[in-house]
Amino acid sequence: MILADRVIVVTGSTRGIGRAIAEACAREGAAVVVNSRHQDAVRQATEALSGAGLRVSGLAADVSAPSGIERLLQHALDTWGRVDVWVNNAGLAQGMQPVAAMDPEEIARIVAVNLTGTLFACRLVIPYFVERGSGILLNLSGKGADGHASPYTAVYAATKAAVTSLTRSLAAENRAHPISIHAVIPGMVATDFYRDMKVTPGLEERAASLPYVLDALAVPLDVVGRRFVEIAAQQPGRSTGKVYNLFGGGRLVRGMVKLIGYRLTGKIHV
């Protein structure tokens, strides 16, 4: 129970990666606040986790708006008395689309949730941690974080590159304080992020390869949860400005071998 003394807020945590993070932290003793824009999703998640004997509370709030972040922080303080770790996980996918095929409203919403919402949270949470004298802030990055080309997911990738840059800058700004600010790249994870994705006509063959890519390269949800537990358990301020990539090592080597096999058998065409 290495997180028994921690209160952790995880945005966008009623499903997928966020849910895995929230549950893994709660199982290690943390008091966890789950969040989504949808009240039903929050209720279902909190009931399930509470029913498993875990310490959780939840709040429906849109974290792309400053008021949503403020309400979420206040809920955590009112319920648990403090916040030790804040995880900016909430994010929207682009699917597989060229930018020209996207509606301006869709582009704006992805940027608002993935980047602007993260900025709003950092703006509010970092001063709280500084005043309290302790805290860990974790920003979810992802594909595009390294600045490499990301065709057909350009908007999403641009937000994640920005999140990584933001994280490093904020860590440098606050290095004098006993807080940690890190980015985490979970890698490809088989969630509805990929299963329910929007695909522009003409890209179906590329999309059809995704199940094989996921089979070869996906990071299991339980691995993501365990790594977040380890990061959340660190001593605040001991290190800051790191970018943790959860994909690599033996998993990368095995995955590349699998991908080569899929290409040779014609299962992956692009």
Rg (CA), the chain: 18
Active site residue 156: yes
For domain 7-200+219-249, say whether CATH 3.40.50.1000 is its number: no
Return d(Cα 226, Cα 151) in angstroms, integer. 31
Average pLDDT over residues 140-145: 92
Q: How confident is the model at residue 206 (pLDDT cuts 50, 70, 90)?
A: confident
Do 4 and 28 meet the contact criterion of CB atoms below 8 Å apart?
Answer: yes
Distance (Å, whole) CA 148 – CA 96 = 17
Task: For the full predicted model, state whether its pTM sits above 0.85.
Answer: yes
**How do the domains of the chain map onto residue ranges?**
7-200+219-249
Please identify which of the residues 128, 156, 194, 262 carries the catalytic annotation: 156
- Pick the more confident residue, 264 or 108: 108
- Looking at residue 269, its pLDDT comes to 65
| pLDDT tens digit sequence for 224-243 | 999 999 999 999 999 999 99
The pLDDT value given to residue 3:
98
pLDDT at res. 216: 85
Q: Which residue has the higher pLDDT, 253 or 124?
A: 124
